[in-house]
Structure 1
Amino acid sequence: MNSPKKVLITGAGTGIGRALSVEAAKKGFDLILVGRTLGTLDETLSMCSTSPVRSVVADVTKAEGRALIADAVEGSLDILINNAGVLSVGHLADMSDADLQRMTNTNLVAPMALTRDLLPALRSSKGRIVNVGSVFGDIAYPFFAGYSATKFGLRGFSDAMRRELSGVGIGVTYIAPRATHTAAERTFASLIEPMDMTLDTADVVAVQAWDAILKGKRESFPKGKERFFVKVQRLFPSLVDKSLGAQARDLKTLAALRPSPQS
């Protein structure tokens, strides 16, 4: 009998990462779950009891955290899922250096660095790199400028690594969910209605992601209008400029961005 696939998931304590972990456990994979907070990781572990599973408390933006992760892999890895991410929303003029640095480090630099560090283990198993991006990595949304920039970068990284590793048997899949019902939803909740956003549950995202991963797909986008808009964005970006520009100027959108008055 073949050994179960060894799968490492970052940001596994909550949201999409937790849903990806639970779905992977149903498939019987050997799981290594990574997150910064022991309590949330333990909650995810308790939901994955049908599968071999262990956790690593580590910050993927830190070299020492990535070293702990590499040690846990023990020389071979079938699937690396770079899922950890953070979000700040609002006018770029209101973004602090810390906001921009946090998104860049977590959403882009950390996946690149962790992929680099785990390449020997992935080569050993002829494994697969999975980068969880966003529809915002194709359709750059106003008031999500920093976040969109990091996801555009992650999509470019995915394409580059797919080509760079094409001769060594390592595959690359880019997953681009739309807005999702997670704790991060609080960050942009006031924009959902004025910007006509459709949200998926994390469970739906996880099922679609695993379908794409196991089929070895190049990329995966949600079903619905966003998939169509991605195609329009790539072929006729000026049409998307007009549509999203109008939304950005709409008084309801601008009102939603104003801070709530302090009581």
Structure 2
Amino acid sequence: MFAAGERPLALVTGATGGIGRALVGRLAEAGMDLLLSARSGPALAALADTLPPGRARHHACDLARDVGLLADAALALPRLDLIVHAAGVHDSGPWEATDDGTLRTLLAVNVEAPTLLTRLLLPRLRAAQGMVVFLNSTRGLDVAEHVGPYAASKHALRALADTLRLEIQGSGIRVLSVYPGSTATPMQQAIQAAKGHAYDPDAFIRPDDIAAMVMAALALPRTAEVSDITIRPLGRPPDPSPAAGPATA
């Protein structure tokens, strides 16, 4: 999976969220040490307490402002084999109604933070022949009404990941972009509430299904690389039709 040596170490941003949290559990089960990051220190501490003792460090960080501090925390570690960019923010509404602050936050968290963090930590990944995973969105592949700035941030992240993959060919670093469709996360619950819809988690992808796909890509032999994974909810069958009544003319 990674270069030989000490137990591999992964940095996971958005570690307390739905997909990030699912990946943290899977990575710990696979024997990796972890540096966990999210905005809430207490939530990170609670997550770390669920993992084997001594296996997880955590660093609370607002990626819109403090990405350099998180990079410093990662550089202080003895090695780095994997970065999982699972942090992200969502916004919806008419394109022309997006305010300056919202646009800045979307770009800072969804584009600038993963770009800067990867650039600062690339030498460590090169030494470990490691991997970068960008948790994107199917909105990085297409567009829809009322998600223009969000989709633009995800299209930018896709372009940056694809360019990075081209520029580091031959370095031993693998770059994976994952494009999940609607997923049963707290973010999705908020999206449905904003639409006035009831939230049914069974109608969406399970975060652990996405984590399982990422782990499969990590487990590939060093002779292969998965560059893109698109994963969408499997449509549920329609409700059964009511029993037919007597025929009428």
TM-score bracket for the superposition, by shorter chain length = 0.7 to 0.9
Query: 1 CA distance for matches of 2:169 and 2:80?
Result: 17
1:136 is aligned to 2:145: no
Aligned residue number for residue 219 of structure 1? 228
Aligned residue number for residue 103 of structure 2? 100
- Offset from partner CA, 1:82-119 (integer Å, 9 cap, x none): 11100111112322111111111100011000001101
Aligned residue number for residue 187 of structure 1? 190
Query: 2 CA distance for matches of 1:173 and 1:51?
Result: 28
Q: Which runs of 5+ in 1 are unaligned?
A: 227-263
1:69 is aligned to 2:98: no
Matched residue SS, 1:101? helix
Moved over 6 A (4+): none
How many residues matched? 222
Shift of 1:157: 0.8
Query: 2 CA distance for matches of 1:210 and 1:107?
Result: 22
- Offset from partner CA, 1:36-73 (integer Å, 9 cap, x none): 111111222123227711111122333x5423433334
Deviating more after overlay: 42-51 vs 53-62: 42-51
Say if 1:142 and 1:24 are closer, same or farther in 2 by CA, change over 3 A: same
| CA RMSD across the alignment | 2.3
Aligned residue number for residue 245 of structure 2? none
Identity of aligned residues (%): 28
Aligned residue number for residue 49 of structure 2? 46
Shift of 1:167: 2.4
Aligned residue number for residue 59 of structure 1? 62
CA contact (8 A) 1:59 1:66 kept: no
CA contact (8 A) 1:29 1:51 kept: no
Matched residue SS, 2:175? strand
Shift of 1:192: 6.6
Aligned residue number for residue 213 of structure 2? 208
Matched residue SS, 1:56? strand
Aligned residue number for residue 230 of structure 1? none
Using CA pairs under 8 Å that are at least 6 residues apart, name the structure with larger relative contact order, 1 or 2: 2
CA contact (8 A) 1:75 1:120 kept: no
The structure with the larger Rg is: 2
CA contact (8 A) 1:25 1:50 kept: no
- Offset from partner CA, 1:211-233 (integer Å, 9 cap, x none): 2233331111115679xxxxxxx
Aligned residue number for residue 154 of structure 1? 157
Query: 2 CA distance for matches of 1:178 and 1:12?
Result: 19
Query: 1 CA distance for matches of 2:74 and 2:168?
Result: 23
CA contact (8 A) 1:7 1:29 kept: yes
Quick one: which amino acid aligns to residue 199 of structure 1?
A: F
TM (norm. structure 2) is 0.81
CA contact (8 A) 1:56 1:72 kept: no
Query: 1 CA distance for matches of 2:10 and 2:134?
Result: 13
Matched residue SS, 2:134? strand
Aligned residue number for residue 129 of structure 2? 126
Say if 1:219 and 1:191 are closer, same or farther in 2 by CA, change over 3 A: farther
1:32 is aligned to 2:3: no
TM (norm. structure 1) is 0.77
Matched residue SS, 2:145? coil
Say if 1:223 and 1:84 are closer, same or farther in 2 by CA, change over 3 A: closer
More helix by share: 1
Give 2:92's match in structure 1, choosing from 81, 89, 93. Answer: 89
CA contact (8 A) 2:135 2:178 kept: yes
CA contact (8 A) 1:104 1:150 kept: yes
Query: 1 CA distance for matches of 2:78 and 2:205?
Result: 36
Say if 1:109 and 1:170 are closer, same or farther in 2 by CA, change over 3 A: same
CA contact (8 A) 1:176 1:220 kept: yes
